[in-house]
Chains A and B, each alone.
Chain A
Amino acid sequence: MISFLGILFDGLAYGVLLFLISVGLSVTLGLMGFINLAHGVFAMAGGYLLVTLTGQFGLGLLASLPVIFVLVALGSLVLERVLYRPLYRATPLEQVLLTVGIIFVAVALATWLFGPGQQPLALPPYLDGQLSIGGLDLSRYRLFLIGVGIVITLALVFGLERTRFGARIRASVDRQQTAEAMGIHVGRVFQLTFAIGSGLAGLGGALGVNVIGLDPQFPLKFLVYFLLVVVVGGPGSVSGTLLAALLLGVADIASKYYLPQIGAFVIYAAMILLLITFPHGLLGRRRSS
């Protein structure tokens, strides 16, 4: 029973990471239909930025998180302007090729700059170690992760449901042409959403260094996981993405714990099954067009 709760806890922390990284991808995919396989690159950039900021510049973990968010968001704006924009109306194949190319270049650059190995990261003392609650030994860092996840989810839901910009995003996701006719500049909405989503991915990558590791193969290794979260959750749906990410996190940790000999098999099989039974995602909106 205890171990079950422990797995649930670890799985939820892992799911929060997946949510942070994938939510930007979900919204941009729902908004523009752009198949961005290179989304993991932004997460990897966040991870390496954290290692550099805490290692070479001596910044604290908490202090570097906002810096990472801003830097990755700015970097993604440049990429969006130069590489992504010409292909918005292109075929899925061209988008796949472009973003696979971006992954390859990023993997090569990361290997060149930081070497092929895993990156170590020392946690500050207040996040290190265990916390005993009701007989359960919970890792402080994972508790912190879940806390961050709750804060960011609330912020996202508030931003999407209660602000003017959120209303613009929802309108653009629902029906782009009508939104444009109402005077919403969908291109600019997309640009900002893309930047925020990439910044969040950077944040997720940075927070994940200690949990899921960081090496130059990161964007390829986790590509399936990010896409899976988005497709199962339904592109464009924040709550669907959260649900899918938490489910996947718990399922992945549980299958690795209970069925180690089968490994990732369960995840891939579940993914294929889910895609066939829910082609629009668990909570996805059905496109009428």
Chain B
Amino acid sequence: MMKQPGQLPPYIQALRSRERWRGAEIAFWLSWVAVYFLFPDSLLFASQILITGLFALSLDLILGYAGIVTLGHTAFFGLGAYTAGLLTTHGVHEPLLGLAAAAAVAALAGWLTSFLVLRGSDLARLMITLGIAMLLLEIANRATGFTGGVDGLQGVEVGALLGLFAFDLYGRVAYCYVLVVSFCLFVLVRALMASPYGLTLRAIRENQRRAVAIGVPIRTRLTNIYTFAALIAGVAGALLTQTTQFVGIDVLGFGRSADVLIILIIGGMASLYGGFLGAVAFLLAKDQLASLDARYWLFWLGLLLIVMTLYLRGGIMEGLRKLAALTRWSRT
């Protein structure tokens, strides 16, 4: 077939089509705007879901895209949460400043630990990430004068956003704030993953040797995606502190690392939206089931994990993809 003048070669077209926003994606974000008007009584819960989704997105970057298995991703979430909290107890009340500080601290920690994490086998990685999170938990637990220890950090007072919008009791301002920050970061992540940079990450995950062969600098790529993921996790942690005005020690616990992993698996990895969809499903189910009995919740969660790893790989996103393919097939 002759190439017509002015028409782009197919590989560029393919890349362009990856970047294009699809209808479902726009509908997804519009529905978060709709939540503000439809459920004015549960905006605090909705912000929790968004924050958890953002946290899961940051895990997706390193686990789904770069293929690094971690059991201690909450270390960065907790660092961000404590940074934002400690900043307000020391007199800095502007939330955006807190967000920036949390991002900086988490990113620095991510960059420093990336050198420890990225060497060794998968098992060693699991242990090192788990160890770093445990280490931070132990510090937060013991430094009671500084962090409040097991009781959590009290007296977090977040000032008005940009000096204009004070956080209200119903969480309206908080929800808008979380939504805007999440969306901005999501757009950034989306652009990054659709770029050649994102493609090289996938190449590393699929086959390291071939990635080396085509000239991908593996160590640099993994180091900076780990740092970037830590940054986003830190922002998510700071958002949690600022919207709940409290830092509990559980932000550093193994439970949260496991939860975010499960959320990502339920939602679907390497899909950008899996984290958010998983957070919606996970937190709604937890809200319903845990109110019956906390013990049953753990049982069902464990059973779900076992069944999903054995029989249902790919999570919600894979299910949606199959559904979309089915409707397309029945239409033709």
Contact = CB atoms under 8 A, between A and B. Distances in A.
Given A83-B310, A93-B69, A279 B299 contact: no
A272 B306 contact: no
Q: Select the residue from A96, A112, A220 with max chain B CB neighbours within 10 A.
A: A96
Given A263-B138, A268-B138, A272-B135, A92 B295 contact: no
B116 A276 contact: yes
A105 B306 contact: yes
A73 B131 CA distance: 30
What size tier do the contact residues of chain A reach? 35 or more
B298 A262 contact: no
Interface string A254-267: 00000001111100
A109 B261 contact: no
B134 A101 contact: no
Interface in A98-139: 98, 100-109, 111-112
B28 interface: no
Interface in A205-247: 220, 224, 227-228, 231, 235
Interface stretch (B121-129, B165-173, B225-233): B121-129
B258 interface: yes
Given A265-B138, A268-B135, A231 B124 contact: yes
Q: How large is the interface on B (under 10, 10 to 19, 20 to 34, 35 or more residues)?
A: 35 or more
A217 to B, nearest CB: 11
B305 interface: yes
B308 interface: yes
Contacts of A102: 302, 306
Nearest to B255: A220
A271 interface: yes
A92 B122 contact: yes
Contacts of B245: none
9 contacts: A87-B310, A94-B309, A98-B305, A261-B142, A268-B132, A268-B138, A272-B116, A275-B131, A279-B120
Given A87-B310, A96-B261, 13 more contacts: A92-B122, A92-B123, A93-B69, A98-B305, A104-B299, A107-B302, A108-B299, A108-B302, A227-B130, A268-B134, A271-B127, A276-B119, A279-B124
Interface of B: 63, 69, 71, 116, 119-124, 126-128, 130-132, 134-135, 138-139, 141-142, 254, 258, 261-262, 265, 295-296, 298-299, 301-306, 308-310, 313
